[in-house]
Amino acid sequence: MSGADEDERAEFLRDALAGLSGRPKTLPGKYLWDETGSDLFDRICSHPDYYPTRREMTLLPRVAREVAALVGSRVSVVEFGSGASRKIRTLLDALDAPAAYVALDISKAYLEAAVARLAPDYPGVAMTPVCADYSKPVQLPHGAAPRPLLGFFPGTTIGNFAPEQARNFLERARETLGPSHFLIGADPTRDAPRLGRAYGAAGGLMGDFHLNLIARMNRELGSDFDRTNFRHEARLCDDPFRVEAHLVASAPARYRLGGQTIAFEAGESIRTDTSHKYAPEAFQTLAASAGWEPVRLWVDDDSGFSLHLLKA
């Protein structure tokens, strides 16, 4: 194991012990994203229940043409949480002679494979995969993204941050990008049945996606959690409105992790992720508080899914 891998494992263990020793029990959502997690999420995106991808992809072609006119030519795009790097195609197709694409993601093997698939279709665009954790300060590799710059954060991933964390992320992104535009997707949906289908079911894929975190923890941290003792549940919560993902223990159990015992009562859960739902005005206020000036807003008629163009 390399030094960097050892540091990552030590951080994962620290975070898991801290999260599972507290009440309620939590695990940071960023650990959902190993290669299996990224692959499962890509399958979720094409499931009919998972409306955010469908709605964003309906909006994006029109938005991309207008963004292209607003940001000018020879722009470099930096995508945060690039995943399968599918949506970027719509943006690159619309932009005038884009110079470079930096795909930034925490899921290393998946990121590198996604950029390797994309690159042959855009020979004029310099492509750089950057494996980094955007919940910390990120510096772009020297020369990878010549100005002017356009940040891109689709997939309503901003919703994984609570408002204060989202503001911190937007401030860090401003430091990473410097003077730039930033295109961000946000979802205001509060329709309980629609959210229940998207986040609770998606053909069982959501359960597989969250339960994979237990498999990852056992494999990478040597814990002995019994995956079959947990079932996935999506919960709608208020103040602020959000969907929480939980893994609920069916029976009381005691598991070993990093030399410690983690005890569960029947019905006790681990929160594995949160999706905050940001209405357009609330998101614009948040972005402005992080130094981003709202330039343009596009809203999907069906769901209210919004794409915000900001400027710093």
User: Strands across the sheet with 230-237, in order?
Assistant: 25-26, 269-276, 242-249, 230-237
Contact of 56 with 158, CB cutoff 8 Å:
no
Which position among 19, 129, 151, 154 is part of the footprint of ligand SAM (CB under 6 A)?
A: 154
Q: What are the residues whose beta carbons fall under 8 Å from the beta carbon of 148, sequence distance 6 or more?
A: 71, 72, 74, 75, 76, 180, 181
What sign has the CA pseudo-torsion 136, 141, 142, 143? negative
Which CB atom, from 28 or from 98, has the smaller least distance to ligand SAM?
A: 28
Identify the residue whose tokens are 């938005």.
Answer: 63
Q: Tell the smallest beta-carbon distance from residue 138 to ligand SAM (Å).
A: 8
Which CB atom, from 134 or from 305, has the smaller least distance to ligand SAM?
A: 134
Q: How far apart are CA 288 and CA 3, in angstroms?
A: 39
For position 180 contacting ligand SAM by CB under 6 A, the verdict is: no
CA angle (257 as vertex; 41, 10 as ends), nearest 5 = 70
Convert residues 81-120 into a mask of x (bound to ligand SAM by CB under 6 A) and - (unbound).
xxx---x-----------------xxx-------------
Q: How far apart are CA 13 and CA 96, in angstroms?
A: 45
Q: Tell the smallest beta-carbon distance from residue 300 to ligand SAM (Å).
A: 15
For position 135 contacting ligand SAM by CB under 6 A, the verdict is: yes
Convert residues 212-241 into a mask of x (bound to ligand SAM by CB under 6 A) and - (unbound).
------------------------------
Q: Tell the smallest beta-carbon distance from residue 307 to ligand SAM (Å).
A: 11
For position 155 contacting ligand SAM by CB under 6 A, the verdict is: yes
Convert residues 46-65 into a mask of x (bound to ligand SAM by CB under 6 A) and - (unbound).
-------x------------
Which CB atom, from 20 or from 45, has the smaller least distance to ligand SAM?
A: 45
Convert residues 16-45 into a mask of x (bound to ligand SAM by CB under 6 A) and - (unbound).
--------------x--x----x--x---x
161-168: Cβ within 8 A, 24+ apart: 161/276, 162/240, 162/242, 162/274, 162/276, 163/240, 163/276, 163/286, 165/135, 166/276, 166/278, 166/286, 167/286, 167/289, 167/290, 168/290
Which CB atom, from 82 or from 303, has the smaller least distance to ligand SAM?
A: 82
Q: Tell the smallest beta-carbon distance from residue 174 to ligand SAM (Å).
A: 16
Q: Which residues pair with 253 in a beta bridge?
A: 264
Q: Tell the smallest beta-carbon distance from residue 200 to ligand SAM (Å).
A: 16
With contacts defined by CB under 6 A, name the span among 10-18, 129-137, 186-194, 210-218 that binds ligand SAM: 129-137
Pinpoint the alpha helices (H) of the chain.
3-21, 35-45, 51-71, 87-94, 108-118, 163-177, 192-195, 205-221, 280-289
For position 134 contacting ligand SAM by CB under 6 A, the verdict is: yes
Residues that bind ligand SAM (CB under 6 A): 30, 33, 38, 41, 45, 53, 81-83, 87, 105-107, 133-135, 154-155, 157
